Amino acid sequence: MKVIQNGILILPDERGRFTAQTEHILCYDERITRIVPATEFTAEGVDEVIDAAGAYVAPGFLNVHIHGCDGADTMDENADALGKIAAFQARTGVTSFLPTTMTCAYDAVERALDRIRRAMTEKPHGARILGSHMEGPFISPAKKGAQDEQYILPPTFERIAPYRDVIKIITVAPEMIVEDDFIESCCKSGIIVSLGHTAADYETACAAIASGASHITHLCNAMTGLNHRKPGMLGAALDTDANCELIVDNVHVHPAMQRIIYAAKRGRNLIPITDSMRACGLSDGVSELGGQKVYVKGTLATLADGTIAGSVLRMNDGLRILRENLGIAIPAIVEMATRTPAEELGVYGELGSLSVGKYADIAIFDEEFRIRRTIVGGRDCFVP
């Protein structure tokens, strides 16, 4: 058994809200075995003591929208790509993630889903792979963003049915749906329908949400904006309980807009993501996303025509930025990146909080979200 002491534990209270607790000891093997006041702790059976030295001890973060990092991409045919992404994610405090596909030739998407399926069954050597976020090809050409228009297809459930065990979230433009029961079929199969890359108006978006769509892909980006006479997709997201992704790099969404969104959503149903590409973790220069050249300078990644193309954001940096922008406590920020996505994915019984019986998926970090240690299933995956 291992223990973590002298840390600020971020724990759910009796209502499930995350709070900071001091003077507690966390004990774990593969799973969390005990969380006790320091005054009640006995060292019997302890193999290793980790001194958090005043740092935060939190559930590991979930990243539900990430294409790649450290030179690797979900669409890479290289069998080692997913492992490379998983290892880098652990360096950022992420302990679970959804490798995200692109709008490419559909057989390439299927091969990517096959690789993700295999990775889901393997013992993690970095962050856990929980399944896939399938972003495209069921999107609108009018809001394709950095996706390749030549590969866009109309949504049909028959195409994705063989991968219902792999796809956890699927991004769809609701105005492109031609099957009346597409959203219902996804929901019955446990696939979360996310609205994104869409030119839908407010009414069309709300109708899709009423039919079962419950997630919004990178809110504000690649969608119709908010107008006082035409609320658009953004208005529908703010006016409902749909879970909304936010790329929190201050490039994709202005800090003031992040505060407006937080207020409109009453602090709920927000999920920080990175939407990072293979250039994340590398230096400036020319990179690639979905077969298209991407030019990276600092925090900005664009296609040749200036279209923003994913990000180079690390999750821990995004959470620091979000805290600075919103001015709220660290436990509330952590809850957005852990409990909210875990509950949505139906895995909160296993991970997403520091609770006895759940996997020992833990991130230890300081006030600036600098990662001091990442633990997945009780095993150290990153120690700087």
Residue 235 · residue 208 · CB < 8 Å: no
Query: In sequence order, what DSSP letters do the residues of 30-86 get, joined into one string?
Result: SBEEEEEEGGG---TT--EEEE-TT-EEEEPEEEEEE-EETTEETT---TTHHHHHH
Active-site residue (options: 249, 275, 317, 361) = 275
**Helix, coil or strand: residue 125:** coil
Nearest to 62 by CA among 133, 143, 162, 161: 133
CA 316 to chain centre: 12
| Euclidean distance between CA atoms 53 and 128, whole angstroms | 27
**Helix, coil or strand: residue 249:** coil
| Euclidean distance between CA atoms 257 and 167, whole angstroms | 30
Helix (H) or strand (E) holding 15: none
Residue 47 is among the residues annotated as catalytic for this protein: no
| Euclidean distance between CA atoms 236 and 223, whole angstroms | 11
Nearest to 333 by CA among 348, 345, 316, 355: 316
- Phi, psi (degrees; rounded to nearest 5) at 161: -55, -40
Query: In sequence order, what DSSP letters do the residues of 258-295 get, joined into one string?
Result: HHHHHHHTTT-SEEEE--B-TTTTS-SEEEEETTEEEE
Looking at the annotation, which residues are catalytic? Answer: 275
